[in-house]
């Protein structure tokens, strides 16, 4: 992949501007405080964007009212950052959320919009507005050509099984439905 852009640092305004340029590249930012970004940030094809909150802070820093949209062949990784909105657009994309609180409707939209070739990874994700205590969600799902989560080593099951109470679409693991393998999938 040819890269024409990139960023590494903790100046969130420079990070935002670099990603907005649309240039392919690797963008790594660290939030040391609330960013106050009110504009949506679009992760475009060829961009690998990673944003982490400083782990030494008493709470994850807030991105702001703006959200994130990951387009086809884009990659977004968020760790220890408070966000309001994350969306996906197209297939063959990568989304990784770690130690992030995500509203139930946002998780639903992510999984409902994921297309073939897309990979979604969750690590210690909480759903604060869920009517049920889901604890933390960890696992990954890769959407196959048939539109269902590919099983591989069945790691896809651990998140989608945990998300059943949210009324998410019924992802299958291979040719079987998730509900049939719930016990096998939870390791």
- For 104-141, the pLDDT digits (tens) are 778 777 877 777 778 888 888 887 876 666 677 777 77
For residue 118, what pLDDT is reported? 81
- Residue 184 in any domain: the answer is yes
The boundaries of the domain holding residue 172 are 101-187
Q: Is the pLDDT of residue 78 over 70?
A: yes
Q: Are 97 and 121 in contact (CB under 8 A)?
A: yes
Among 32, 28, 39, 37, which residue's Cα sits nearest to residue 6? 28
Q: What is the pLDDT of residue 110?
A: 80
The answer to whether position 157 is within a domain reads yes
* Gyration radius of the chain over CA positions: 16
User: Is residue 162 over pLDDT 70?
Assistant: no
* Any domain includes 84: no
46 within some domain: no
* Mean pLDDT for all residues in the chain: 76
Tokens found for residue 99 = 């130690």
Q: Which of 169, 175, 65 is nearest to 111 (CA)?
A: 169
pTM of the entire structure?
Answer: 0.78
* Tokens describing residue 67: 């959200």
When divided into structural domains, the chain yields a total of: 1
Which of 62, 78, 8 lies closest to 18, judged by CA?
8
DSSP alpha helix (H) spans, the chain: 12-20, 104-113, 156-162, 182-185
Q: Kindly indicate the confidence band of residue 168, based on its pLDDT and cuts at 50, 70 and 90.
A: very low
Kindly indicate the confidence band of residue 146, based on its pLDDT and cuts at 50, 70 and 90. Answer: low
Residue 126 lies in a domain: yes
Is pLDDT at 158 greater than 60 in this prediction?
no
Ramachandran class of 163: left when φ > 0, alpha when ψ lies in -120 to 50, beta otherwise? alpha
pLDDT of res. 59: 92
**What percentage of the chain has pLDDT greater than the value 90?**
41
E-strand ranges in the chain read: 5-9, 25-31, 41-43, 47-53, 68-71, 75-79, 86-89, 94-98, 119-125, 137-143, 149-150, 172-173, 176-177
DSSP state of 32: S
Q: What is the mean pLDDT of residues 61-80?
A: 93
pLDDT of residue 25: 95
Domain assignment present for residue 172? The answer is yes
Q: Band of the pLDDT at 157, cuts 50, 70, 90?
A: very low
With respect to residue 62, please indicate whether it lies within any of the assigned structural domains. no
Evaluate whether residue 105 is within a structural domain.
yes
Which has more pLDDT, 52 or 130? Answer: 52
**What is the structure's pLDDT at 57?**
93
């Amino acid at each position: 992949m040819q890269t024409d852009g990139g960023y590494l640092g903790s100046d969130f305004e420079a990070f935002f501007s670099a990603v907005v340029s649309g240039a392919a590249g690797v963008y790594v930012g660290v939030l040391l405080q609330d960013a106050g970004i009110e504009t949506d940030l679009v992760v475009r094809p060829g961009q690998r964007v990673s944003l982490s909150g400083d782990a030494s802070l008493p709470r994850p820093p807030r991105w702001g009212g703006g959200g994130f949209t990951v387009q086809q062949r884009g990659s977004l990784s968020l760790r220890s950052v408070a966000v309001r909105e994350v969306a996906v657009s197209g297939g063959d994309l990568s989304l990784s959320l770690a130690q992030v609180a995500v509203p139930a409707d946002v998780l639903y939209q992510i999984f409902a919009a994921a297309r073939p070739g897309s990979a979604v990874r969750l690590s210690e994700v909480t759903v604060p507005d869920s009517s049920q205590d889901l604890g933390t969600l960890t696992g990954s799902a890769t959407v196959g050509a048939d539109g269902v989560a590919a099983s591989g080593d069945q790691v896809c099951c651990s998140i989608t099984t945990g998300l059943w109470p949210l009324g998410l679409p019924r992802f299958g693991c291979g040719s079987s439905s998730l509900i049939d393998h719930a016990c096998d999938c939870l390791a």
